[in-house]
């Protein structure tokens, strides 16, 4: 069992993280993965895990990974939205775990979307 001091330290650390997240909400880059049945069937779960691993390895504390339901374009799944504050949302389609490293390095870290993986390239 934890001592009262240890529990208080955990509580304070969690509160600090929440407060930091709220202060920097406008600075947070969001990675949103379509995890409806169609996305999962197309392989969204390994894509999500790859994003989480890559972001963790690079210690990118300003990036959050979350899930959403059906985006409505099942034929393009797995789909991932990358939302960088102050920029247009970029939607990646037919994502695979192998593509994740490049998206993180080029788009999230260096600010250059990987055009060939985007919805615009898929529709051509």
Residue % of the chain over a pLDDT of 90: 63
The answer to the question of residue 52 being in a domain is yes
Is the Cα torsion angle 94, 102, 47, 120 positive or negative in sign?
negative
Range of the domain at 93: 26-122
The mean pLDDT value for 89-108 works out to 96
Give the number of domains in the chain. Answer: 1
Dump pLDDT digits (tens) for 2-26.
Answer: 677 787 777 777 766 665 444 455 5
Q: Does the structure show a pLDDT above 70 at 35?
A: yes
* Residue at 95 is within a domain: yes
pTM, 2 dp: 0.77
CATH for 31: 3.40.30.10
- Per DSSP (E only), the strands in 18-111 are 29-34, 63-68, 80-83, 90-92
Residue 93 inside a domain? The answer is yes
């Amino acid at each position: 069992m934890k001592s009262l001091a240890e529990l208080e330290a955990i509580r304070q650390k969690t509160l600090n993280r929440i407060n930091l997240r709220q202060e920097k909400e406008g600075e947070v880059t969001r990675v949103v993965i379509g995890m409806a049945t169609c996305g999962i069937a197309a392989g969204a779960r390994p894509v999500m895990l790859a994003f989480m691993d890559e972001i963790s390895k690079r210690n990118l504390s300003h990036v959050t990974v979350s899930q959403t339901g059906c985006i409505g374009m099942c034929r393009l799944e797995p789909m991932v939205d990358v939302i960088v504050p102050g920029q247009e949302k970029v939607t990646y389609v037919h994502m695979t775990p192998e593509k994740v490293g490049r998206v993180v390095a080029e788009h999230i870290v260096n600010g250059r979307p990987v055009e060939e993986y985007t919805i615009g390239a898929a529709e051509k």
